[in-house]
Structure 1
Amino acid sequence: MKKDDYYPIIFKRKSIRNYDLNPLDNNILKEISEEFDNLIPLYSNINTEIKIISTEDVKQRFMKKAPHYLAVFSDTSEGYLTNVGFMLQQMDLFFSSNGIGSCWQGIPIPKAEILNGSNLKFIILMAFGKPLDPLYRDSMNEFKRNPIEKISKVTGADNLLEAAKLAPSATNSQPWFFTGNDSAINVYSIKPNFLKAMVVNKYIPIDVGISIYHLKVAAEHFGKTTEIIFDKDEKKDSPKGYTYYATLKFSME
């Protein structure tokens, strides 16, 4: 299975919800599991575990079935949800670049025997399998995303932010916000109102992790190296109504 530049995939990927329920070939599943070792964490000190499980291993709640799921577990160190978003989006783009459909699943959970099989906390599922719907979007117009000027105060980095804004998010809430310039971008989330927070609070850090990975992919596509840091001063000076997550520093290779 290939692992090409994911940048073009970002602009045509979509969440697949209808699957052929026949299992994928065992050799393909083996290659998928081997890809777990290649995932880059956002925080190297956080322990994570990813398992491939079947549709019979999942409590189905209000979601269509898929033949396979990635079940993600993590310790609960600071930043663990953002780390999961950053890592699992690598699998989402890996699937899409190899003709496999996938979709983040925030509602279903594994059955007890799967949950009890890990010493880490269960975080989220990702469905995957052979898609019954078209794998890619026909047009950028199919994305329902906020314009860059609504999510950013950055100038001179639209080529990076276009990729970041296309990140998937729970209920398409698009919680991210960016400040900085073309050499350093600070990543925030917008704090939701009370009612919205009841639905999306758990997922916001995951969604932000996804957008951070999209930024990294875009930067590397345009020949930049990326250093991701946690800036205590930026956190302290966060604008009212925003939560700081990370700063991406860019330099030319």
Structure 2
Amino acid sequence: MSDRHTVLVVEDEAAIRDMLNFTLSAADFNVIEAPNAEQGWNLLLEHKPDCIILDWMLPGTSGVSLAQRIRQHDQVGHTPILMLTAKGEENDQVKGFEAGADDYVVKPFSPRALVARCHALLRRHMPDKHSSEVIKAGTLQLDLSSYRFTVDGEEVKLGPTEFKLMHFFMTHSNRVYTRSQLLDHVWGESIIVEERTVDVHIRRLRKILEPVGAANVIQTVRGAGYRFSTE
């Protein structure tokens, strides 16, 4: 029982919550539910789930606002977030990713596909067991065992996708990678997301690194992609 992943579902429609509970439970997930952001927040702090399925449109506080609140919290800010929404336009997806979502599923959706996305999100969140526990690049340090990222000794909070992206960059420095290559290495070849997603997460990562003076380690190579360098 303790090996099962726990998923928090924050969704105001009871029928969708029931369907997700049934589907995820059948896939051996432990499911906890909340009908609104405030209850979802309280359950998040109490249970510290492995993943959150978060509806965009919630009564009162929106899912986007809750995602932003989660990302700013020390204890639960690293929790993977899958945004569930009827908003399928590209600009809406960008807003969701910028708010802190790691993946985005548009209603109506296939329950089996959503379970697969949850599994993929959890795999992305797990550190690479074949990598050393502490990775250093200049003043940047990534500790896989404690899930901590520091710049010149100062801890910087990263969401799970940004953590995975920084992990890849720090272990593959001074090489240019296209958006497509980054999607394959960081998100996984089986995940269908747009290349624009890479730009959103790079922009979010730079914004996080800017206050500690490290935003320039991720360089844009026009017409090619992105390169990580501390030189």
What is the TM-score with the length of structure 1 in the denominator? 0.34
Q: Which has the higher helix share?
A: 2
